[in-house]
Structure 1
Amino acid sequence: MARKRSHQPHSNSNRPRFWGKHAVAAALDNPERRVLRAWSTREAAELMNFPSDVPVTFADVADLGRLVPNDAPHQGVVIEVAPLEDIWLGDVLGDAPERAVLLLLDQVTDPHNVGAIFRSAAAFGAIGIVTQDRHSPTEGGVLAKAASGALETVPWVRIVNLARALEEIAEAGFWRIGLTGDATTDLKDALGPPRVALVLGAEGPGMRANVRDHSDALARLPISSAIESLNVSNAAAIALYAASIA
C-alpha cells in the first residue's frame, strides 16, 4: 500500500480516535466495535490484526503525532471508530449473576481517572460501570488509552438520572454503598450482600446529596491520617478489590 501523508484534524465525539497498542488491539477484537480507518507505522501494523475492509494509511511517528491531541503516546497506531451502541441498565441488571459488583460514578469527569477505573473494573470482574450521560467524559482516546482495552469489555451504561438508576438497582437486589471520607463505617463492615453497587463521587465535592440519600450505607476506606484522601481511580480499585473478596 502506498504511503500517504495526512493532516487530519483531531477526532470528534461522533468518530473518536483511539491510540496505543492495547486500546487499538482490543477495539479490533471487539465484534461490537466498528473501526472506520487506521493509521500506523509499518512495524506496529505487523502486530495489529487489521480487517481487510479497514483502510490503513502507513505513516511515520511524527505524522501520527499530529492525529492525536498533544502528541499523545500513540505507540505507532491510531484508529478512528464509531461509538459503541448504547447499553441499557436493565440489560446489565437482568444478566447479573447471583454474586456481582456494579460501579457507579457521580460526576467523575476526568477521562484519565475514568479510564483507570475501567481497567480496575475489568481486573476485578465488575459487571458494569454506570455514569450520567452529562458530567462524565465521552468515549474518546484519552479514556480508551487509560483503560488499556477495558473499554471494549466492561459494559458502560450512561443514564440521565443517577438517583433514579439507584432505585432500579435496589429493585434488582443490589446493596448500595456510597463511598465517602466522612462516613463512620469502614467499607469491609458495610459489605455483606452478594450483589453490591459501589458509588463514588468526584474528587472534591464527592457524592451529591440526592445520590447519598439513595445509598443503603455510607462507608469509608480506612486510609492513614497521613493523607487526606485518595485519587478516585485508586479508591475505586481498592473498593473493587474489597468487594471482590468479601
Structure 2
Amino acid sequence: MSAPKVLFGFHAVGVRLRTAPESIVEIYVDPSRKDARMRQFLSRAQEAGVRLVEADSLRLSRLAGSAGHQGVVARAQPLPAKTSLDDLLDALQVPPLLLVLDGVTDPHNLGACLRVADGAGVHAVIAPKDHAVGINATVAKVASGAAETVPYFMVTNLARTLGELKERQIWCLGLSDEATQSLYQADLKTATALVLGAEGAGLRQLTRKTCDSLVSIPMLGAVESLNVSVASGICLYEAVRQRLAA
C-alpha cells in the first residue's frame, strides 16, 4: 500500500471526505477552533466514521508544511487512477476540452489552474513529468478540491502526446504573446486542447512547433503577460461561452 498523502484546508479535505471517506486514515483538527464551519466539518467527519485527532496549530503546520491549514489536516491513501488518458478520451460523448500545461512548476499556479479547469468542465489536464509540479498538499489546498475531481495526467513526452491528440482530430491551440490571431477568433466548439506555458518562459520551442496554431489574449494595458492560471481561466471560459452559445 502506498504511503498516505497529506491534504489540508477545509475544501481539499472536505472533498475527499465527501467523495472517498474510506481512504482517509485520520484527520487532525485544532480544538481551539470552535466556529460554525469547524463544527459542520466535524459533524460530517464523525458521520463518515473518520478518526479525529486533536492537534495544536504548530503541529498542524508541521504536518501540512504550511501555516494555511485552517485547522484541518488529513492523512489519506492516494486514490487509484480511474483510467488512462486514452480510455478517458475514448469514453467521451462530447468534443473534448483539454488543458495542457507546459512548464508550470509553481504549486499555487497548478492548484489555481485545476480549480478553474474544474469550473469550466475540462475533461483532463495534461503536463510533462520533467517540467511540471505534481499534485502535492499545496496544490490540493489551492485547488479547493479540484485536485480530487479533475483528471491530471503527467506524460513522458509532451510533444508526442500532442501528436497523439492531433491524430484524434483534437485541435491543439497554443497560447503565445507573439501570435497574431486573437483567442476570440478561434473556434473552440470542436475538440480542443488549449496549450499554455509558464508565465514569463511561455511555451517551449518544441511544444510551440507541435501546436496546430497559436493565439494570443489581447493585452490593452502596460502589462505584457498574465499569470498562467488567469490566462487558463480566460481561455477555458471562452471555450465554455462558445459551446453554450452553440
Task: Give the residue type in structure 1 aligned to 2:224.
Answer: E
Structure 2 length normalisation: TM-score? Answer: 0.87
1:47 to 2:41 alignment: yes
1:37 to 2:26 alignment: yes
User: Could you list the runs of 5+ residues in structure 1 that have no partner in the other structure?
Assistant: 1-12
Give the helix-richer structure, 1 or 2. 2
What does residue 8 of structure 1 align with?
none
User: Could you list the runs of 5+ residues in structure 2 that have no partner in the other structure?
Assistant: none
How far residue 46 of structure 1 moved from its aligned partner, in angstroms, is 4.7
1:2-81 to 2 correspondence within 5 Å?
14-31=3-20, 34-42=23-31, 43=34, 44=38, 46-48=40-42, 49-50=44-45, 51-52=48-49, 54-70=50-66, 72-81=67-76
How far residue 189 of structure 1 moved from its aligned partner, in angstroms, is 1.1
1:85 to 2:80 alignment: yes
Runs of 4+ in 1 over 4 A off after TM superposition: none
Q: Do the aligned partners of 1:16 and 1:139 also contact (CA within 8 Å) in 2?
A: no
Q: Do the aligned partners of 2:14 and 2:145 also contact (CA within 8 Å) in 1?
A: yes
How far residue 32 of structure 1 moved from its aligned partner, in angstroms, is 9.1
How far residue 45 of structure 1 moved from its aligned partner, in angstroms, is 6.2
How far residue 25 of structure 1 moved from its aligned partner, in angstroms, is 0.5
What does residue 224 of structure 2 align with?
228
Matching residue within 136, 139, 146 for 1:143: 139
1:212-223 to 2 correspondence within 5 Å?
212-223=208-219
% identity of equivalent residues: 38
What does residue 174 of structure 2 align with?
178
How far residue 83 of structure 1 moved from its aligned partner, in angstroms, is 2.6
Once the two structures are superposed, what CA deviation does each residue of 1:173-216 show, in whole Å capped at 9, x if it has no partner? 21110001111100121224511100001122211111112111
- Aligned residue for 1:67, secondary structure, equals helix
Structure 1 length normalisation: TM-score? Answer: 0.87
What is the total number of aligned residue pairs between the two structures?
232
Instruction: Report which stretch shifted further, 212-221 or 37-46.
Output: 37-46
Instruction: Report which stretch shifted further, 157-166 or 74-83.
Output: 74-83
Task: Give the residue type in structure 2 aligned to 1:20.
Answer: G
Partners of 1:193 and 1:167 lie apart in 2 by 20
Aligned-residue Cα RMSD (Å) equals 2.0
Instruction: Report which stretch shifted further, 183-192 or 30-39.
Output: 30-39
